[in-house]
């Protein structure tokens, strides 16, 4: 399997949320607390021969009906490569990546229902016919979020930047740097969310110890951030790169597929 640099891969690292969260302690859809780590399942998928994206979307709709009926709903998004590090000689290794986001308890019970019930296994067999998907697990932490925007925006763009600590740099050092950035930019910089993702299971080909995942409502928001970067924000980026080696940002488009109870 080719190395995947913008997708959920790697080995788990324990991490305490460092960022300042939204006012009034709002919760994400599904009653997920931004102050708590979230369970992430990533399905790194290529469509099988003869299967269209519309075919797969129909299947995913049936999965969502199953999840609702079996009390196994999760938040779900799908990302497509937009401006990645890939090129003609090194194409992006997946047609799309799905992320299923929930708390760890629900992730476990939902998988048990999927694996042990006849209806779940029937859908699983159908899934295998639709696409070849590599399943990965990770933990994600909120550094900063406009929770209302995350809960209502359905079409957005997302940057990924995989990083690893440099020698002598501790997790506490990174926590402090992340918290300082949020304190300096309490309203965000064109974005509606900033998360750090730490791969856990199935990640031998990780491009780093963790990934910065920044969510923008649209390209205008992304370019607002790019303007900030061009007008001096790059200095802070270079300071951070003294602490961590990073791949640099890659851009994905993202569509929200569903939110629990919505």
Please state the domain extents for the chain.
23-258
Architecture of domain 23-258: 2-Layer Sandwich (3.30)
Output helix, strand, coil percentages for the chain, rounded to the nearest 5. 35, 30, 35
Residues 236-255: what's their mean pLDDT?
96
| Per-residue model confidence (pLDDT) at position 23 | 47
- Whether the pLDDT of residue 218 is over 80: the answer is yes
Residue 222 in 3-state DSSP? helix
Taking only the tens place, the pLDDT of each residue in 90-132 is 999 999 999 999 999 999 999 999 999 999 999 999 999 999 9
- The first and second tokens of residue 161, run together, are 């930047």
- Whether the pLDDT of residue 9 is over 80: the answer is no
- Whether the pLDDT of residue 22 is over 80: the answer is no
| Residue-level length of the chain | 262
- On average, the pLDDT of the chain sits at 90
Angle ∠(89,95,101) on CA atoms, nearest 5? 130
Closest CA to 134 of 10, 17, 1: 1
Q: How far is it, in rounded angstroms, from Cα 215 to Cα 53?
A: 24
Which neighbouring-strand residues pair with 135? 43
Query: Given phi > 0 = left and psi -120 to 50 = alpha, else beta, which region is 68?
Result: alpha
Residues 53-65: what's their mean pLDDT?
97
| Per-residue model confidence (pLDDT) at position 24 | 55
- Whether the pLDDT of residue 14 is over 80: the answer is no
């Amino acid at each position: 399997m080719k190395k995947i640099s913008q997708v959920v891969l790697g080995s788990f690292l324990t991490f305490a949320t460092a960022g300042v969260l939204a006012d009034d302690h709002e919760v994400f859809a599904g009653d997920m607390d931004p102050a708590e780590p979230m369970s992430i399942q990533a399905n790194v998928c290529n469509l099988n021969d003869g299967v269209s994206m519309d075919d797969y979307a129909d299947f995913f709709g049936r999965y969502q009906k199953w999840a609702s009926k079996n009390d196994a709903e999760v938040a779900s998004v799908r990302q497509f490569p937009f401006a990645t590090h890939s090129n003609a000689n090194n194409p992006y290794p997946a047609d799309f990546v799905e992320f299923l986001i929930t708390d760890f308890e629900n992730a476990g019970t939902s998988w048990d229902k999927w694996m042990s019930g006849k209806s779940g296994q029937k859908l699983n067999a159908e899934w295998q016919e639709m696409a070849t998907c590599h399943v990965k697990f990770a933990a994600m932490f909120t550094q900063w979020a406009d929770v209302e925007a995350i809960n209502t925006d359905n079409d957005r763009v997302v940057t990924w930047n995989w990083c690893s600590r440099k020698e002598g740099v501790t997790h506490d050092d990174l926590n402090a740097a992340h918290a300082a950035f949020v304190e300096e930019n309490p309203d965000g910089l064109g974005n509606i969310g900033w998360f750090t993702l730490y791969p856990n299971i199935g990640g031998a080909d990780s491009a780093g110890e963790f990934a910065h995942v920044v969510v923008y409502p649209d390209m205008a928001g992304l370019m607002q951030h790019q303007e900030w970067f061009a007008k001096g924000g790059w200095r802070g980026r270079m300071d951070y790169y003294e602490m961590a080696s990073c791949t640099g940002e890659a851009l994905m488009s993202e569509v929200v597929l569903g939110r629990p109870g919505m």
